[in-house]
Amino acid sequence: MEDDIPPFSRTAALRAKLAPLDIETDPTSGESLPASTTSKKQATALKILDEYIPESPSDKTVNILRAMIKHIPTLGKEEVFTDIAKEPDLAELARDYMNFVVFPLRAKGNSTPAVWSLSSRFFEDSLPEGEFESQQREQARLKKDAETIETEAAHIVPFAMASFSEVQRPWAEQIWSEIHRLFPDVKDFKPEHINDPSNCLTLEANLHKQFGKLNWALELTTKPNTYKFVSFSKLPSGIRKMGLLPNEYVTFVAHGGRYPLPRPSLLNLHAAVAHIYHASGMSDDFEQILEARTQITCLASDGSTPIAQVLMMVI
């Protein structure tokens, strides 16, 4: 996951019951509690947040925890309610959620590796005899009769989440444990699955970058393979003017059935994290942290580089 290693949190590791990445998870652990139990836990958690005293005017603890309660899927809410009730240091809890759930899903750029790109010769060789020429004719007709745009493969869960050294492994294990705990529907999705086609979309380059930045997302609907397009305030206005954005609702179709459609639970994870990222008010902070970390080798002469944030993600 590149070279950014946030502080390792012992309490978060205990909450996640940290386990090696190759340990199988319990498929029943995501079952929800009775509604009466859930409502009591929620009431307790909200009361604790109402009584929280901010440490400073810029303290975003309550914003983060309320965003978690609102946007984490139903099966994960139980864990959030329990965390709030049991964790004596709510600021640390909020920081752990951001460091080990939200920030890792915020890609730093178009990190989909070149391995996704296949040469035209490989593509030609992989098709049955005669089909390649047919594809070429169809493509020529498409370019003549319709507007086209270049697209590229984009990970839903960022590729960086499966790219880590042995030194970074404890941090990576903690991230995956927290995600599996709060999003039980993706418990079977692990680092070795990062390049699975179900974790892939094909997007125009600008949309790819903004998808990785969590500035837009696709929300589940009750209709199979149909999603609602949602965007956030940081989505550049130029993209809207370019006419690149899809309609309000998007339906995925598998042409030929050769590859699976994007996995709904992964898009749900991305959408939930995008909502939390913006609703918590932490999107600006994260951009500042990223900028500060790029300056660590050339500190500003005026002393303006926020060293504390470079060394530790602070709320």
Name residue 226's amino acid: T
- Number of domains observed in the structure of the chain: 1
The alpha carbon dihedral of 307, 308, 313, 315 has a sign of negative
Share of the chain above pLDDT 90, in %: 51
The verdict on residue 126 lying in a domain is no
Domain limits for position 157: 10-119+148-311
d(CA 150, CA 160): 24
Examine the pLDDT at 8 and tell me if it is beyond 50. Answer: no
d(CA 144, CA 85): 62
Q: How confident is the model at residue 121 (pLDDT cuts 50, 70, 90)?
A: very low
What residues does 302 pair with on adjacent strands?
none
Share of the chain above pLDDT 70, in %: 67
The verdict on residue 68 lying in a domain is yes
Instruction: Please give the pLDDT value at position 75.
Output: 87
The verdict on residue 198 lying in a domain is yes
Instruction: Please give the pLDDT value at position 165.
Output: 86
Q: How confident is the model at residue 199 (pLDDT cuts 50, 70, 90)?
A: very high
> Can you give the pTM of this predicted structure?
0.75
Examine the pLDDT at 185 and tell me if it is beyond 70. Answer: yes
The verdict on residue 127 lying in a domain is no
The verdict on residue 139 lying in a domain is no
The verdict on residue 162 lying in a domain is yes
d(CA 236, CA 246): 15
The verdict on residue 193 lying in a domain is yes
Q: How confident is the model at residue 242 (pLDDT cuts 50, 70, 90)?
A: confident
The verdict on residue 279 lying in a domain is yes
Residues 274-298, mean pLDDT to the nearest whole number: 78
Examine the pLDDT at 59 and tell me if it is beyond 90. Answer: yes
What residues does 202 pair with on adjacent strands?
153
